[in-house]
Structure 1
Amino acid sequence: MRTRLAIKLHTVLEQYFPERRLFLRSEDDTRFIRLRPSTQLIAFMGGSLIIAWTIIATAILLMDSIGSGNFREQARRDQQTYEQRLNNLSDERDVRTEEALAAQNRFNSALSQISAMQSELLASESRRRELETGIEVIQSTLRRTMKERETALAHTSNLENSANQSATAGSGGAPLGNDMMDALSSVLAQTAAERDQVIADAEEALKAVKEMELELALMEEKNDQIFRQLEDAMTISVEPLEKMFTAAGMDTKSLLNEVRRGYNGRGGPLMPLAFSTKGGELTKETLRANDLLDQLDELNMYRIAAETLPLDSPLKSAFRYTSGFGMRWGRMHNGTDFAAKHGTPIYSTADGVVIHADWLSGYGRLIKIKHEYGIETRYAHLAKIRVKVGQRVSRGEQIGDMGNSGRSTGTHLHYEIRKNGRAVNAMKFIKAGRNVF
C-alpha cells in the first residue's frame, strides 16, 4: 500500500519536477548530481519560503516606516497639546494664586474690621451704661424735686391760711402790726420763688431725661447696626473656612475640639461679656455680643487649624501632574506625583517637625514631617535633602530638591498625606486650600 502511494506521488511530482542531472566534468573524470523530484520540491518550497519571508519583512518594514512617520506626527501633535495644556495650567495656577492672595487680603481685612467693630461695640456698651446710670440719677433727682415741690406747696398753703386767719382776727379784734404783715409777705414771696425754682428744675430734669432717652435710642440703633455688620463679617469669614475643611475631608466639629484642647488659653477681648446694668439677667445686646465673641473664637480656631494643616502646594514653580491618588497598575498609589525639572525646590506644606530625612527603600531620599492632629506629609524621590530629623519647619520653607532617587522612572516628586497612619488624597487638601489661601 505504501509502495503504491509512493509510486503515485512520485509520478505526480515527475510531471512538475522531472528528474534532472547536474554534470560536473574535470580533466580526467565526469560526475553528475542527481536531482530527484522530491529534492526539487524541497528546494522549491525552501526558496518560496525565503521569498515569502522577504516580501513580508519588506512589507513590515515599509509599514513600520510609514507608521513611524505617523507616530512622529502624532507625537508632535501630542507634544503641542501637552505644551498648550501646561501653559493653560500655568495660567490657571497664576489666576488661583491671585484669587488666593485676594481672599487672604479679604480675610485679614475682615479680621481688622471685626476687631475695630468689637472695640467700638465695647465703647458703645460702656456709654450706654453711663447713660442708663445718668437717667437713673436724673429720675431720682426728679422724684426728690417733686417731693420738695409738694412740700413747698403745702407749706405755702399753710402760710396763706395762717395769713388769712390773722387778717380775719385783725379785722375783728386788734389790728395786726406792720412788722407781722411784712414778715408774712416775705415768707410768701420766698416760698413762691422756691416753688417756681422747683418747677423749673423739674422741667429741666424732664427735658434732660427725654434727651438721654433719645440718645440711648440712637445708641441702641447704632449698636444694632454694628451687630449686623459684625454678624455679616463673621458669616463671610467663617463659611469659606468651613467649606475648605469639609472639602479636605476633615470633621470640623472634632477639628475645633482638638484645636481648643491645644490652644485653651483665654483672656483679653475674647472673654465673654458678663456685665449687667440691672444686676439681673444679661441683656439682649450682651447675649448677642457673647454670640459674636463665640463666633470670633471659632474663627480664630479655624485660622489656627488652617495654619497647621498641609493645605499648601509643595511646589511653587511650573509643574504637571503625572499620577494621582488611587489604584495604578493593579496596586494602590498612596500619593500624588508632580513632574518638573531636576533640582526644583520642594517646600513644606504646613508647620511641623521632621521625623525622617534619609533613604527609605523604594521612596529613595524621603522626608517625613509630622503636623498637628495626626497629620503626616511625605516627600519622596528627592535629589537632595535640606533638613534634619527633629528640625521644626514652617509652611513654605524649602526642605529639599526634586530628583529621581529610589524606584522611579523619571524626575518627579511623590507627595503623600497621611492621617492617623492612613493615606488620604493629597489633592483634596491642596484644592481646599486654594479656596482660601
Structure 2
Amino acid sequence: MDRLNASLGKWLPEQRLFLRSDDTTRVLHLRPLTQLAGISGITLAFGWTLFASSALMIDAFGAEGTRAPAAQAGLEQRLDELQAERDARAAEALAAQARFATALDQVSQMQTQLLASEEKRREMEAGLGAVRSTLTAALAERDAHQAQVADDAGPDRSKEVTVALDILAEELRQTADQRALARQEADEARLAAQELTVERDQILARNDEILTQLEDAVTISTEPLDDVFRSVGMNPDEVLATIREGYSGQGGPLTPLSYSTRGNAALSQNETKARQIIVTLDQMNTYRIAIEKLPLAMPVEQAFRYTSGFGRRWGRMHEGVDMAGPVGTPIHATGDGVVTYAGRQGAYGNLIKIEHELGTETRYGHLSRIGVKVGQRVSQGELIGAMGNTGRSTGPHLHYEVRMNGRAVDPMSFIKAAENVQ
C-alpha cells in the first residue's frame, strides 16, 4: 500500500483536511489511494447516470416509432367522420329547406283564399247595403201601397203585396246568413295564416341554427388541416391552389333558379351561410386530396430504433433520419408516387427515390434488396424493398429522406403531422 501510495503521489499528492472546533483541531490525511477511490466512485456514478438517461431516451423513441404506423389510419378515419357529419348536416339543411318551401306555398295559398274571402265580403256588404236601401224604400212603398190598396183595391191586392214582401225578406235573411258564414271563413283563414307564419319563422330559426352548427363544425375541422401543412413548411393557400388546378372540371345543363318573394331577408342570410359552408367543405375536400398525396406514413412498420436524427452530425449535415433494425426488415412506400431511381448510388448504397405530388420526394438508402423499377407507380404502404447495410453504413438501418422542391426537410415533421390530423 505504501509503494502504491508513493507511485500515485506523483499525480495525486497527499492532502490534509483540518476540522476545527472551539477547543480542538483534527487533521484528516487523504492519501493518494483514498483520493483515487473517491474519484473512481464519482466517475462510476456519473457514467451510470449517462447510461440510464440514454436507455430511457431510446425507449421513448422506440415507443414513438411503434405508434407512428397507426397515424395514417387515424387520419383516414377522422376524414371519413368529418365527411359523414358534413353529409348529415347537408341532409338536415335540405330537409329544412323543403319544409320551409312547403310552408311558404301553404301560406301563399291561404293568403290568396283570404284575399278572395275579403273581396267577397266587401261585395256582399255592398250588396247588403243596396238591398237594405231597397228594402227600406220597399217597406215605405209597401206601407203606401197597403194604405192605397186598403182604400182602393180591397183585400186581394193587399195579400199579393204581403207575399212579395215575405219572399224578399227570406232572400235578405239568406244573404245575411251567407255574409256571416263568409266572415267566419275569413277569420279562420286569417288565423291559419298567422299559424303558418309562426311555423315559417320556427322553420327559419331551426334552419339558421343548423347552418350555424354546420358552419362552426366545418370551420373547426379545417384548423388541424392548416396546421398539418404549416408544420411541414408548406403554404396552405398554395397547396389549395395547386390541387384546384388539377380538379377544376365543370359542365352539364343549367336550369333557372326560382325563389319565393316572401321572407327574402331570412333566405338571403341563410343562403349566405350555406354558400360559406359549401366553400369551407370544398376547402376540406381539397385538403383531403392534398393530404392523400403527401408521404405521411412510416417506412418501417416493424420494431426499430431511431439511431440518428435530422440535422448536423459530426460537423456535416445529415439530411434524413436513420431507423435501425435487422437485415431484411420490410421497407414500405410512405405515400403514392412514381419510382424515379432504383439502384446503387455512392454512400447511399442501394437507393430508391419516389417522386410524389406537390413537389415532394422520398429516398430510402442502404437497402439490402430493391423490389421496384424506375417508372413504376407505387401506393402508400406498398412493399418496395428490405433494410440492409450497403453504402457508407456502420450497421443495418434505413436512411429515410424527405425533400420538398429539391430541399431536404425533417421527415419527422411529416410523421408528426399525421398524428396531428388523427
TM-score, scaled relative to structure 1: 0.76
> Aligned partners of 2:70, 2:370: CA distance in 1, in Å?
30
Shift, 1:184, TM fit:
1.3
> Aligned partners of 2:394, 2:364: CA distance in 1, in Å?
16
Q: Quote the residue 1:332 is aligned against.
A: 317
Q: Quote the residue 1:344 is aligned against.
A: 329
> Aligned partners of 2:143, 2:45: CA distance in 1, in Å?
141
**Residue 128 in 1 paired to residue 111 in 2?**
no
1:75/1:410 CA distance change after superposition, 3 Å: farther
Structure with bigger gyration radius:
1
> Aligned partners of 1:88, 1:324: CA distance in 2, in Å?
14
Q: Which of 294, 299, 304 is the equivalent residue of 1:314? A: 299
**Residue 157 in 1 paired to residue 129 in 2?**
yes
Residues 78 and 421 in structure 2, CA contact (< 8 A), matched pair in contact too: no
1:24-173 map, 5 Å: 81-93=53-65, 105-173=77-145
> Aligned partners of 2:334, 2:208: CA distance in 1, in Å?
42
| Amino acid in structure 1 at the alignment position of 2:169 | S
Shift, 1:222, TM fit:
1.5
1:348/1:145 CA distance change after superposition, 3 Å: same
**Residue 277 in 1 paired to residue 260 in 2?**
yes
**Residue 181 in 1 paired to residue 198 in 2?**
no
Shift, 1:98, TM fit:
6.8
Q: Quote the residue 1:16 is aligned against.
A: none
Residues 368 and 387 in structure 2, CA contact (< 8 A), matched pair in contact too: yes
Q: Deviations over 1:300-358 (max 9, x none)?
A: 01111111111222122222222233333333322222222222221111111112222
1:385/1:72 CA distance change after superposition, 3 Å: farther
**Residue 410 in 1 paired to residue 395 in 2?**
yes
Residues 100 and 435 in structure 1, CA contact (< 8 A), matched pair in contact too: no
> Aligned partners of 1:132, 1:322: CA distance in 2, in Å?
70
**Residue 300 in 1 paired to residue 272 in 2?**
no
Residues 62 and 305 in structure 2, CA contact (< 8 A), matched pair in contact too: no
Q: Deviations over 1:388-425 (max 9, x none)?
A: 22222221222111111122222111111122222222
Give the SS at the match of 1:127: helix
> Aligned partners of 1:360, 1:103: CA distance in 2, in Å?
35
User: Greater RCO between the two (CA within 8 Å, min separation 6)?
Assistant: 2
> Aligned partners of 1:218, 1:297: CA distance in 2, in Å?
29
Moved more, 90-99 or 175-184: 90-99
Residues 71 and 418 in structure 2, CA contact (< 8 A), matched pair in contact too: no
> Aligned partners of 1:397, 1:187: CA distance in 2, in Å?
95
Q: Quote the residue 2:32 is aligned against.
A: none
> Aligned partners of 2:211, 2:190: CA distance in 1, in Å?
31
Structure 2, unmatched stretches of 5+, are: 1-6, 12-36, 150-157
| Sequence identity percentage | 39
TM-score, scaled relative to structure 2: 0.79
Shift, 1:434, TM fit:
1.6
Give the SS at the match of 2:327: coil
1:274/1:259 CA distance change after superposition, 3 Å: farther
Q: Quote the residue 1:261 is aligned against.
A: 245
1:321/1:99 CA distance change after superposition, 3 Å: closer
RMSD of equivalent CA atoms:
3.3
| Amino acid in structure 2 at the alignment position of 1:306 | I
Structure 1, unmatched stretches of 5+, are: 1-54, 60-65
Q: Quote the residue 2:354 is aligned against.
A: 369
Shift, 1:231, TM fit:
2.0
Q: Quote the residue 2:377 is aligned against.
A: 392
Q: Quote the residue 1:8 is aligned against.
A: none
Shift, 1:103, TM fit:
6.3
> Aligned partners of 2:322, 2:120: CA distance in 1, in Å?
90
Shift, 1:150, TM fit:
0.7
Residues 107 and 237 in structure 1, CA contact (< 8 A), matched pair in contact too: no
Give the SS at the match of 2:421: coil
Q: Deviations over 1:58-98 (max 9, x none)?
A: x9xxxxxx999999999887666544433333334556667
Q: Deviations over 1:114-159 (max 9, x none)?
A: 2111111012112212212221221122111101101011111211
Give the SS at the match of 1:85: helix
| Amino acid in structure 2 at the alignment position of 1:277 | S
Q: Quote the residue 2:216 is aligned against.
A: 232
Moved more, 93-102 or 315-324: 93-102
Moved more, 104-113 or 214-223: 104-113
